Structure 1
Amino acid sequence: MSRAQCGSRSSFDTRDRLTDRLFLDLRRGEVSSRTDVLERIVRLYLPLCSTMARRYDGKGIELDDLVQVARYGLLKAIERYEPGLGRSFAAYAVPTISGELKRHFRDRAWVVRPPRRIQELRTEVTATRAELEQRLGRSATEHEIAEALDLAADDLQELALAMSCFRPTSIDAAIAGDGLAESAATLPYEDGGFEFVEDHACLSRELAKLDARSRRLLALRYGDELTQREIAALLGMTQMQVSRALARILLGLRTAFAIEDHDRSA
Structure 2
Amino acid sequence: MNSPAVSEDYARERAAARAALVRLRKMPPDDPEYGGLREWVIGEYMSYARYIAGRFRQRGEAQSDLEQVAYLGLVKAVDNFDPDFGAAFLTYATPMIAGEVRRHFRDTTWDVHVPRRVQENALAVRAAERELNQELGYAPSAAQIAERLELSADEVAEAYEASAAHHTASLDVPVAMSDGDGASLGELIGDEDPGFELVVDREALKPLLAELSTRDKKILLMRFFRNMSQTQIGEELGVSQMQVSRLLSQILGRLHEQVEAGH
Distance 1:32 1:116, change over 3 A: closer
The within-5 A match list for 1:76-87 is 76-87=76-87
Shift of 1:76: 0.8
Number of equivalences: 217
Distance in 1 (alpha carbons) for counterparts of 2:177 and 2:52:
36
**So what's the TM-score if we normalise by structure 1?**
0.60
Residue equivalent to 2:137? 138
Distance in 2 (alpha carbons) for counterparts of 1:179 and 1:158:
39
Counterpart check, 1:117 vs 2:120: no
Structure 2 unaligned blocks of 5 or more? 199-222, 232-244, 255-263
Residue equivalent to 1:19? 17
Residue equivalent to 1:53? 53
Residue equivalent to 1:164? 164
Distance in 1 (alpha carbons) for counterparts of 2:46 and 2:189:
47
Structure 1 unaligned blocks of 5 or more? 196-200, 210-256
Shift of 1:81: 0.4
Question: What letter corresponds to residue 18 of structure 2 in structure 1?
Answer: D
Residues 7-31 of structure 1 deviation map (CA, whole Å, 9 limit, x = unaligned): 8865653333111221233224881
SS at match of 1:32: coil
Distance in 1 (alpha carbons) for counterparts of 2:133 and 2:6:
27
Shift of 1:150: 4.4
Residue equivalent to 1:64? 64
- Is the Cα–Cα contact under 8 Å of residues 49 and 97 in structure 2 kept in the other structure? yes
- Is the Cα–Cα contact under 8 Å of residues 133 and 140 in structure 1 kept in the other structure? yes
- Is the Cα–Cα contact under 8 Å of residues 16 and 89 in structure 1 kept in the other structure? no
Distance in 2 (alpha carbons) for counterparts of 1:7 and 1:99:
34
- Is the Cα–Cα contact under 8 Å of residues 128 and 148 in structure 2 kept in the other structure? yes
The within-5 A match list for 1:1-266 is 3-4=1-2, 13-26=11-24, 27-28=26-27, 31-57=31-57, 59=59, 61-133=61-133, 136=135, 138-142=137-141, 143-171=143-171, 172=173, 174=175, 182=185, 185-189=188-192, 264-265=252-253
Residues 37-77 of structure 1 deviation map (CA, whole Å, 9 limit, x = unaligned): 01111111222222322333353544333222211111111
Distance in 1 (alpha carbons) for counterparts of 2:108 and 2:78:
24
- Is the Cα–Cα contact under 8 Å of residues 60 and 167 in structure 1 kept in the other structure? no
- Is the Cα–Cα contact under 8 Å of residues 73 and 100 in structure 2 kept in the other structure? yes
Distance 1:184 1:161, change over 3 A: farther
SS at match of 1:166: coil
Shift of 1:103: 1.4
- Is the Cα–Cα contact under 8 Å of residues 106 and 116 in structure 2 kept in the other structure? no
Residues 124-150 of structure 1 deviation map (CA, whole Å, 9 limit, x = unaligned): 32443454455x263451243233334
- Is the Cα–Cα contact under 8 Å of residues 125 and 159 in structure 2 kept in the other structure? no
Distance in 1 (alpha carbons) for counterparts of 2:39 and 2:79:
13
Q: RMSD of aligned C-alpha atoms? A: 4.6
Distance in 2 (alpha carbons) for counterparts of 1:49 and 1:151:
32
**So what's the TM-score if we normalise by structure 2?**
0.60
Distance in 1 (alpha carbons) for counterparts of 2:66 and 2:83:
27
Question: What letter corresponds to residue 56 of structure 1 in structure 2?
Answer: F
Distance in 1 (alpha carbons) for counterparts of 2:139 and 2:5:
35
Residue equivalent to 1:226? none
Shift of 1:187: 3.8
Distance in 1 (alpha carbons) for counterparts of 2:65 and 2:139:
31
- Is the Cα–Cα contact under 8 Å of residues 59 and 166 in structure 1 kept in the other structure? no
- Is the Cα–Cα contact under 8 Å of residues 27 and 34 in structure 2 kept in the other structure? no
